[in-house]
Amino acid sequence: MQLQVMNSPFSQEQAELLNKLLPTLTESQKIWLSGYLAANQTAAASPVVGETQAQATVETNVEPISKEVTILFGSQTGNSQSLANSTGKTLKDKGFEVTVSSMSEFKPNNLKKVKNLLIIASTHGEGEPPDNAISFHEFLHGRRAPKLEDLRFSVLALGDSSYEFFCQTGKEFDQKLEELGGTRLFNRVDCDLDFDEPAAEWVEGVLAGLSDVQQTQGSVVAESTVTTQVAESAYSRTNPFKAEVLDNLNLNGRGSNKETRHLEISLEGSGLTYQPGDSLGIYPENDPVLVDLLLEEMNWNAEEIVTVNKQGDVSPLKEALQSHFEITVLTKPLLEQASKLSANEDLNKLLEDGETLKAYINGRDLLDLVRDFGPWGVSAQEFISILRKMPARLYSIASSLEANPEEVHLTIGAVRYETHGRERNGVCSILCSERLQPGDTLPIYIQNNQNFKLPQNPETPIIMVGPGTGVAPFRSFMQEREETGAEGKSWMFFGDQHFVTDFLYQTEWQKWIKDGVLTRMDVAFSRDQEEKVYVQHRMQEHSKELFEWLQEGAVVYICGDEKHMAHDVHQTLIEIIEKEGGLSRENAESYLADMQQNKRYQRDVY
């Protein structure tokens, strides 16, 4: 840590002496020195102070704040983990001793020893902690949580304001740490999908909080430049790569109720790499038909030049609405801002009733809002300033880089439905199914996900449960295992509606079975018989063998819909463990929780 002469009262010679001395001092020497200087300062102000009083000043000097910082993250898709790692690097560069850990790998009993704690946590599902934060969250909210009067902390909460329980997990951590006696280094920051700027401000605030404390102890802390992105490639979430689409196929057969696209995308020239279990982020464009309807409804000029971000970038209005802003999802914060721009009192009344507001938001978009609550006596620039940036869509990668150098494959189900008197389309899925052609480009980035990874030991058995598009990461897993020659047993559970039209990647699975890459596969086609059959039913049918695999140390992976499928599969696993293991329900739940803690139960759910 170098002392800058231009920013200090020391001469060049004094600064050089201090810079030689400071790095050699131990913590106890620094404590003594700070007390000694404080004592001398007091003595100078009061000439009557004797040796005894000066010594008392040294002995009663406040214990300095530790330079050790613990960063714990709770992450489902990898954003919190990425932010934790980049925050750790920033703090290390400023001379702090930093430990970065997943909440699931942190021993809760060590919490009492931590002096400076930073929590970075996303919220999952309906206000729930992400999988790797569950055990720590339960500990902190349980009877065994210790008093933390000596703890200084700060929380960065990640979420999506279109959900009712926005940033709930971060809020709960923040509140509980305060209840246990902790003191905030910096107030909690709640981030929406576009989290880069607020996250950077939080890191600056945390640094200032830590630095203020350090400076009161006589330490020198330099100014910092905070970044929240650390990547090997030049391309990232904030600087996406424009990747060429190589192929775009419909995986479903004629007559299917579904349309599932298989995309093959080139990574050539990007420097981007990935591992099985990672995701690909895509920044899509809104449907131009919807944009035109919005422009017509508001009587806006499509060619009007508007500013699209804080950096001052400009764009024609139509392009801005198509590429830069989210127009298909309503959120409570958006409606609150919109109420300030509308003369319609009905919008204010809607905001006063939480349940009615929730019902209104569900399934409606910006076109509904402007039609329902006009007139809008504002300019296009004023109106778009309240809109969220276009968020990226994350898709589980369906390929292995080893098997497909400089390529990435995706499996995307087209989303179409009707509600509130209009047909609705998924923004990215319908772009891919209806408008995206080979040769077109997509802005993309890689989202690393360390919470969904193949076992390090290639001989470890794996059990994969992935109906529908949940099949994607398991295609990646099997390609990787084929390339690396992994010899561990593997078992795939796949389900969809009809065998004839909806068996995604059927020939590939059959080849892997034939070649011995895949040990066994069980399928459930729900609508091929009168009674619906799902993947969890197939698991129940083979409960004895499945439990034997668990006892042998198999890792279980689930990918797909969280609310229904993943929930049902979770309950089925508990039932199988209870039945085949001869355990009580409580012990069966503990068995599965231990698997999760030991990374033997991993979920990529949405």
How does pLDDT run across 188-210, given as a tens digit for each residue?
999 999 999 999 999 999 999 99
- In tens, the pLDDT along 476-529 reads 999 999 999 999 999 999 999 999 999 999 999 999 999 999 999 999 999 999
Asked which of 183, 216, 249 is the last residue of a domain, the reply is 216
Question: Which of 18-27, 72-81, 207-216, 479-488 has the weakest average pLDDT?
Answer: 18-27
Q: What residues does 543 pair with on adjacent strands?
A: none
Confidence of residue 219 (pLDDT cuts 50, 70, 90): very low
Residue 47 has a pLDDT of 39
Q: Per the domain annotation, does 227 fall within a domain? A: no
Tell me: pLDDT of 13 over 90.
no
Number of domain units in the chain: 5
492 and 377 in a common domain: no
H or E stretch at 289 = helix 288-298
Q: Residue 12: pLDDT band by 50, 70, 90 thresholds?
A: low
Number of neighbouring beta carbons within 10 Å of residue 275: 18
Averaged pLDDT, 441-468: 97
How far is Cα 77 from Cα 87, in angstroms, rounded to an integer? 18
pLDDT of 352 > 70? The answer is yes
Collapse the DSSP code of 104 into the 3-class scheme (helix H, G, I; strand E, B; otherwise coil) and give the result.
Answer: helix
Average pLDDT, the chain: 89
> What is the distance between the alpha carbons of residues 228 and 482, in angstroms, rounded to a whole number?
36
Q: Which of 17-31, 250-264, 379-393, 481-495 has the lowest mean pLDDT?
A: 17-31
Residues 306 and 410 in one domain: no
Could you give the angle at the alpha carbon of 275 between the alpha carbons of 270 and 281, nearest 5°? 55
- Tens digits of residue pLDDT in 223-271: 333 333 434 689 999 999 999 999 999 999 999 999 999 999 999 999 9
Lowest mean pLDDT among 133-137, 218-222, 598-602: 218-222
Mean pLDDT of 64-87: 90
Work out the pLDDT band at 366, boundaries 50, 70, 90. Answer: very high
How far, CA to CA in Å, does 76 sit from each of 167, 320, 488?
A: 13, 31, 26
Pair 211, 327 in one domain:
no
Helix 354-361 vs helix 345-352: crossing angle, to nearest 10: 110
Residue 237: CA count within 13 A, CB half-sphere? 23
Angle, in degrees to the nearest 10, between helices 354-361 and 332-339 = 100
Percent of the chain scoring above 70 in pLDDT: 86
Same domain? 114 vs 191: yes
* Residue 55: inside a domain: no
Residues 6+ apart with CB under 8 A from 110: none
Distance in angstroms (rounded) separating the CA atoms of residues 115 and 97: 12
Question: Per mean pLDDT, which range of 40-49, 82-91, 227-236, 246-255 is the poorest?
Answer: 40-49
Query: What confidence score (pLDDT) does residue 61 get?
Result: 44
* Start-end of H helices in 106-236: 134-140, 168-179, 196-216
Tell me which residue range forms the domain holding 25.
5-46
Q: Write phi, then psi, for 247 (nearest 5 degrees).
A: -155, 155
pLDDT above 90 covers a percentage of the chain that reads: 80
pLDDT at position 38 is 45
Alpha carbon distance, N-terminus to C-terminus of the chain: 45
What the block records as the tokens of 556 is 């279980």
pLDDT tier for residue 10 given thresholds of 50, 70 and 90 = low
Q: Quote the pLDDT of residue 28.
A: 46
pLDDT (0 to 100) of residue 374:
86
53 inside domain: no
Q: Please indicate, yes or no, if residue 579 is contained in any of the structural domains.
A: yes
Same domain, 89 and 200: yes
Contacts of 606 (CB under 8 A, 6+ apart): 394, 560, 561, 562
Q: Label residue 33 by pLDDT band (50, 70, 90).
A: low
Q: What is the mean pLDDT of residues 386-392?
A: 96
Please list, in sequence order, all residues whose beta carbon lies within 8 angstroms of the beta carbon of residue 210, skipping any fewer than 6 positions away: 65, 69, 91, 96, 116, 185, 221
Instruction: Please tell me whether residues 83 and 24 are part of one structural domain.
Output: no
Q: Which of 39, 42, 3 is nearest to 21 (CA)?
A: 3
Let me know whether 183 and 263 are in one domain.
Answer: no
pLDDT of residue 485: 96
Q: What gap in Å lies between CA 247 and CA 244, rounded to an integer?
A: 9
**What is the pLDDT, as a whole number, of residue 435?**
97
Please give the pLDDT value at position 67: 87
Query: Which pLDDT score, from 0 to 100, does residue 235 have?
Result: 95
Residue 230 lies in a domain: no
CATH code, domain carrying 482: 3.40.50.80
Q: Which residues pair with 393 in a beta bridge?
A: 282
Q: Do 189 and 97 reside in the same domain of the chain?
A: yes
Q: How many residues does the chain have?
A: 606
pLDDT in tens, 103-162: 999 999 899 999 999 999 999 878 999 999 999 999 999 988 999 999 999 999 999 998
Give residue 232's pLDDT. 61
User: Is 114 found in the same domain as 15?
Assistant: no
The answer to whether residue 199 is domain-embedded is yes
Among 384, 405, 421, identify where a domain stops. 384
| pLDDT reading at 59 higher than 70 | no
As a whole number, mean pLDDT of residues 535-556 equals 98
- The domain boundary, picked from 160, 183, 216, lies at 216
Looking at residue 513, its amino acid is I
Residues 589, 538, single domain; the answer is: yes
The 3-state DSSP composition of the chain as helix, strand, coil percent (nearest 5) reads: 40, 20, 40
Condensed to tens digits (0 to 9), the pLDDT of residues 164-188 reads 899 999 999 999 999 999 999 999 9
Classified as helix, coil or strand, 256 is coil
Residue type, 337: Q
Question: Are 423 and 483 in a shared domain?
Answer: no
Quickly tell me which residue has 């934790």 as its tokens: 84
Residue 40, pLDDT above cutoff 50: no
Three-state helix/strand/coil letters over 32-99: HHHHHHHHHHHHHHCCCCCHHHHHHHHHCCCCCCCCEEEEEEECCCCHHHHHHHHHHHHHHHCCCEEE
Does pLDDT of 69 surpass 70? yes
Average pLDDT over residues 272-298: 97
Residue 391 lies inside a defined structural domain of this protein: no
- Point out the least confidently predicted range of 19-33, 39-53, 339-353, 411-425: 39-53
Q: Which residues contact 385 (CB under 8 A, 6 or more apart)?
A: none
pLDDT at 34 over 90: no
Q: Residue 103 to residues 15, 73, 598: CA-CA distances in angstroms?
A: 42, 6, 12
Q: Is residue 234 part of a domain?
A: no
Range in 48-57, 189-198, 264-273, 456-465 with the lowest mean pLDDT = 48-57
pLDDT at 125: 79
What is the phi-psi region of residue 149: left when phi exceeds 0, alpha when psi lies from -120 to 50, beta otherwise?
alpha
Please check whether residues 310 and 176 belong to one and the same domain: no
